[in-house]
Structure 1
Amino acid sequence: MSQYESDLLRLLEERGHLHQVTDAGALDALATKEIVTGYVGFDPTAPSLHIGNLASIMLLKRLQQAGHRPIVIMGGGTAKVGDPSGRDETRTMLTDEKLASNIAGIKGSFERILRFDDSETGALLINNDDWLSELGYIEMLRDVGPHFTINRMLTFDSVKLRLDREQPLTFLEFNYMIMQAYDFLVLNREHGCRLQLGGSDQWGNIVNGIELTRRIDGKEVYGVTAPLITRADGAKMGKSVDGAIWLNEEQLPAYDFWQYWRNTDDRDVGKFLRLFTDLPLDEIARLEALQGAEINDAKVVLANEVTAMVRGEDAARSAETTAKQTFAGGGAGEDLPTLSLGADGMALPAALTAIGFTASNGEAKRKIAEGAVKLDGQPITDPALVVTVSEGSEVKLSLGKKRHGILVH
């Protein structure tokens, strides 16, 4: 039985999204009697978000599902400074043009997952550059500066860890927590926003915003963080051996996105179904209880549900069909990456690298030597092999059991 009365906190708790809450009793009471506006910030440092960000997007989705109003904050202003949380080095400075381009690329992910309309619970997407870039420096120092002490700022992990490792923390980055706190103040004033949500690494930044809003305007606002999501093997969610698992098709084909979820560790299936799908909890309990080879059925459900939410129903169906053709029938599905070799063919290591299976020809040669590379299902151990494909035909290239592609003329 949940300790909470509100649909919001009960939903977050039962789905595994709840880690820390400021004044849980007061937030619970507020959420039972009125629509709560809450936000999550996303700094547009790349043209796509990745599945590490998906946990935070799901916080906004759950907020909306519980009858409240989500705000997506695009950090066009804060990204010019860079969040030092969890980083050992200074971020690369991004131009206004690059930030605008990244924001344009990211927006589609939110539009698929959240409902944007004119209703009381319709999502909003706002760029904090709208107010941060308008601030006068002296104004900011006078109005906001007195509410932050250097002593306190030095205790936050984002600062402390960098200094403990003797890595430089620039004055620019040192201001990040002040700017994020100011976001909460502005959103409360302009949109009646009472809640900030985020990952557990954002706890310090969230608390700063709560305290600033209380000190300047005397308003009570709240914070919720989600646990850091790790896989059963201890790795951080969102990374694979081949790099980040991007939400956008341009950065990662739908088949590879689907395959990442299909390859989930048996121990993580239930957790990921609760966090990243809308399946009923009793159905999730049934799926995670499957044993032996049957657990693979649950993984297909997981892959289909997440891919449909992030990429669309057609992408999920197409990826599953490709997987069935590739693995069950030994054929090659339409979604597999394709590489054209030309009339003269291509050395096998170069083909592995060109199609994106290996980072270098040296790595490709090692994989060939290990017997991990196959052409049309036949192991190849000769790193000097030049692969040729006759016009109108194709060859299936495989690296291990999970990476497959098509070589054409």
Structure 2
Amino acid sequence: MKNKFLAEMSSRGYLSQCTDFDKLKEISDKKSISAYIGFDCTAKSLHVGSLLQIMILKMMQKYGHRPIVLLGGGTTLIGDPSGKDSTRKILEKTEINNNIKSIKKVFNKILDTSNKNTKPIYVDNAKWLTKLNYIKFLRDIGSHFTINKMLTFESVKLRLEREQSLSYMEFNYMILQAYDFYQLYKKNNCILQIGGSDQWGNIVNGVELIRRMLKKEAYGITSPLITLASGTKMGKTESGAVWLNEDLFSAYDYWQFWRNTDDRDVKKFLNFFTELETNEIDNLFKRKSNINDLKILLANEATKILHGEVASNKAEQTAKDTFHGKGLGSSLPEIIVKKKDIIKGIKLLDFLSKNQIVHSKSEARRIIENKGLKINDILIADPKKILELTDFTNNVLKISYGKKKHYIIKIN
């Protein structure tokens, strides 16, 4: 059954490139393998752009393989230049460590931690990268890399072609990532690295370093970078990034994100972000199922994987209550206000911007002038409106921004 791991990767569209597909298939046919994906920890949560990689780790477990989650406490100190137009902000170790603790919560929710043979192994590359002796590292590891080849990698080439600065610190990132693979091969018998297609050059470096240093064979796989039919970047909304940690992005907003998928992306996302069988997905489209029903299916299944079935069902019911029943769905984002502030009166524009319902007072004014804001389902036409006690029913009101953004305001 082990070989079905690569077969399903291919059928779901997860597979872009592989250093030696036939050999890797042969090995994974015979035994369980360990594979790793690295995640830099530049924020306290990963966003939905990282979800495809996590789904691949989850699928590994399904077929009896063990995932290794590398949380890059060391490489985050440097910053990966891949796909970046400028140098990342340099973070302090304390902030990175706090980010790692927060990010691990998502992996523990999505991955199976109950099976001792396939439960994820967490590693932090700071354990070896921060202890390196610079001269020894240059002699032992740096001697296996040529500047000529490093200059051909896309992450470097694009920055130089655009005449955007690339620091020597960032230039070293690909060597450090190769060294990570080398360390994991030695310490954890990890024979496979997986990453997005922008990581291909970095992954090949690791494969070659293991071959030269250990005289052993290792393998690399990349998944495609996600492009949306609309042309926008995956995981961006009007209010910002779609974070995977619930304290930054609610289960209801997460459900709505998937529900609002472009029609043209629904089938791809059902394959990418749910555990529905691929033949079942194909049959749904052959039967020409209602596209909105398929979007709800996508939202339910994707939300269930991250937040659980109860939260998924609750989000769906909230959407029905909000959009069809004109009610106050129980999963809508809540904002608490003090009664004394409401008694004094709060300027609506100030309230909207202060609570990040919109980005600024000028944006709030434009939305109201364009008839895009409702309070308790009643259109607001006056940008000078003051929120008062009379706007609340039983200390609660609903603010609706456009057709899909709703907030419950409660008086404490």
Bin of the TM-score, shorter chain as denominator length: over 0.9
The reply to whether residue 407 of structure 1 matches residue 409 of structure 2 is yes
> Counterpart of 2:70 in 1: which secondary structure?
strand
Q: Which amino acid aligns with 2:374?
A: K
State the 1:187 CA deviation: 0.6
Q: What is the aligned partner in structure 1 of residue 150 from structure 2? A: 153
Quick check: 210-219 or 390-399, which moved more? Answer: 390-399
1:199 corresponding residue in structure 2: 196
- Matched to 2:55, the amino acid is M
Q: 1:163 offset after TM fit, Å?
A: 1.4
What is the distance in 2 between the residues matched to 1:336 and 1:256? 8
CA distance in 2, matches of 1:128, 1:116: 21
Task: Give the deviation of 1:117 after TM superposition.
Answer: 4.8
Query: For residues 273 and 330 of structure 2, what CA distance do their matches in structure 1 show?
Result: 26
Q: Percent identity?
A: 49
* Matching residue of 1:302: 298
The correspondence for 1:225, drawn from 222, 237, 241, is 222
Q: Matched residue pairs, number?
A: 405
The aligned counterpart of 2:183 is 186
Match of 2:83 among 60, 83, 86: 86
Among 322, 334, 337, the residue aligned to 1:338 = 334
Contact 1:5–1:29 (8 Å) recurs in 2: no
1:364 equivalent to 2:360? Answer no
Matches within 5 A, 1:383-394: 383-390=383-390, 392-394=394-396
State the TM-score, normalizing by the size of structure 1: 0.95
Structure 2: gaps of 5 or more residues: none
Residue 15 of structure 2 corresponds to 18
| Partner SS state of residue 344, structure 2 | coil
CA distance in 1, matches of 2:344, 2:284: 50
**Cα distance in structure 2, aligned partners of 1:310 and 1:46:** 18
Structure 1 residues 227-236 or 34-43, which shifts more?
227-236
How does 1:90-109 map onto structure 2 within 5 Å?
Answer: 90-109=87-106
Deviates more, 1:107-116 or 1:220-229: 107-116
What secondary structure does 2:190 align onto? Answer: coil
For residues 307 and 203 of structure 2, what CA distance do their matches in structure 1 show?
30
**Correspondence 1:41 to 2:29:** no
The alpha-carbon distance between structure 1 residues 289 and 118, as it changes in their structure 2 partners (threshold 3 A), is: closer
Structure 1: which 5+ runs fail to align?
A: none
Q: What is the correspondence of 1:232-247 to structure 2 with a 5 Å cutoff? A: 232-247=229-244
Deviations 1:228-275 (A, max 9, x none): 112221222121222110000111111111110011112211111111
Match of 1:350? Answer: 350
Cα offsets for 1:208-242 (capped at 9, x unmatched): 10111111111111111111112221222121222
Of 377-386 and 82-91, the range deviating more from structure 2: 377-386
Q: 1:319 aligns with which of 299, 308, 315?
A: 315
Q: Aligned Cα RMSD in Å?
A: 1.7
How far apart are residue 5 of structure 1 and its match?
A: 9.2
Deviations 1:341-372 (A, max 9, x none): 62223222222223322100011111111111
Structure 1 contact 116–124 (Cα < 8 Å) conserved: no
CA distance in 1, matches of 2:185, 2:325: 57
Deviations 1:283-328 (A, max 9, x none): 3224345658x32222112111111111222221221121111011
Normalising by structure 2, report the TM-score.
Answer: 0.94
Q: Which residue identity lines up with residue 4 of structure 2 in the other structure?
A: D
Q: Structure 2 counterpart of 1:383, which letter?
A: P
- Displacement of 1:116 in angstroms is 2.7
CA-CA distance at 1:179 after TM superposition: 0.4
Name the SS for the 1:225 alignment partner.
strand
Partners of 1:281 and 1:164 in 2: how far apart? 41
| 1:73 corresponding residue in structure 2 | 70
* CA distance, structure 1, for counterparts of residue 131 and residue 267 of structure 2: 46
- What SS does the corresponding residue of 1:334 show, helix, strand or coil? coil
CA-CA distance at 1:30 after TM superposition: 1.1
CA distance in 2, matches of 1:57, 1:394: 39
Q: Within 2, Cα distance between the matches of 1:324 and 1:5?
A: 42
AA paired with 1:113? Answer: I
Distance in 1 of aligned mates of 2:5 and 2:196: 17
